[in-house]
Amino acid sequence: MILETELLKTEEISLRQVELEPDDPQRKWDPAFHFDILDRAGVQIGGCNLRLGHSEALYYAGNIGYQIDEPYRGHHYAGKACLLLFELAKRHGMEYIIITCNPENVPSRKTCEWLGGELLEIAELPEDSEQRRLTGESHRCIYKFRL
């Protein structure tokens, strides 16, 4: 069941849903919400997504992805968007979230630390993983967030 998303806002940012991706049994992923991140004036400053559920594929890909456009970085907008997505995940019955990033992506690692994530491991991606194939990366930091 997918719940309403119109309450995903703070005084600083809001999330505007742009897509609801249906589950993908081939990738072993549940549904995913895709959002634009908007500042208080309604200007798009980035994007984020929430993938529901837990699977081996999502352990390496993560439940949440985010990106902030360069001129807007340095204000914790990615972390603030994640906090809103944590609330949406809770409303969908999730008890924890996984966020992953490249070990060399210092800003993303700082976001995970700012959010209070637990670094479970720096994992080698399976040879046949979609993440390895799409990004060419071999390792991911795996952070867990209890909701």
Domain CATH for 85:
3.40.630.30
- 36 belongs to a structural domain: yes
- 1 belongs to a structural domain: no
- 3 belongs to a structural domain: no
In a 10 Å sphere around its CB, with 0-12 CB exposed, 13-18 middle and 19+ buried, how is residue 74 labelled? exposed
Sequential pLDDT tens for the chain (147 residues):
566 667 799 999 999 999 998 887 887 678 899 999 999 999 999 999 999 999 888 999 999 999 999 999 999 999 999 999 999 999 999 999 999 999 999 999 999 999 999 999 999 999 988 888 888 899 999 999 999
54: containing domain: 13-146
Instruction: Give the total number of structural domains in the chain.
Output: 1
- 100 belongs to a structural domain: yes
- 122 belongs to a structural domain: yes
DSSP helix/strand/coil, 23: coil
CB 115 within 8 A of CB 96: no
Which CA distances in Å does 138 have to 19, 114, 120, 128, 143? 29, 25, 17, 11, 17
- 8 belongs to a structural domain: no
CB 48 within 8 A of CB 32: no
- 18 belongs to a structural domain: yes
Paired strand residues for 34: 19, 49
- 53 belongs to a structural domain: yes
